[in-house]
Amino acid sequence: MYNLSEIFALDLAAYAVMSNHYHVVLYIDKKSADKLEVIDRRQKIFTTSNLAQRYLNGDALDPCKLKALKTSLRYGDNA
């Protein structure tokens, strides 16, 4: 969990490990979570979609493709 907090824009505030489950309290740092940074951090763990790679390269994406990229980042799908 700590490794994930270093990759994504979140802080591990607290955790509790029980015998059959665990609890975590996370703080999402929206100020440091700009779009380019989120894509860059996400590709450290997941395969980067073609749309995300084009966005990172500075290619112009039409509004439909930008919407698809935002959806894929929100739900973890590969666009």
Residue 43 DSSP label: T
User: Model's pTM, two decimal places?
Assistant: 0.47
Give how far Cα 20 sits from Cα of 4, 14, 24, 78, Å.
22, 18, 14, 32
- Count the neighbouring beta carbons within 10 Å of the beta carbon of residue 61: 13
Element (H, E) at 64: helix 63-75
The pLDDT tens digits of the residues spanning 38-76 come to 777 777 777 778 888 888 888 888 999 888 888 877 655
Residue 38 to residue 55: CA distance in whole angstroms = 12
> How far is C-alpha 63 from the chain's CA centre?
21
For the chain, the structural domain boundaries read 1-30, 34-79
- 32 pLDDT band, cuts 50/70/90, is low
State mean pLDDT over 20-42: 79
Instruction: Name the amino acid, one letter, at 68.
Output: A
pLDDT over threshold 50, residue 79 = no
pLDDT over threshold 90, residue 21 = yes
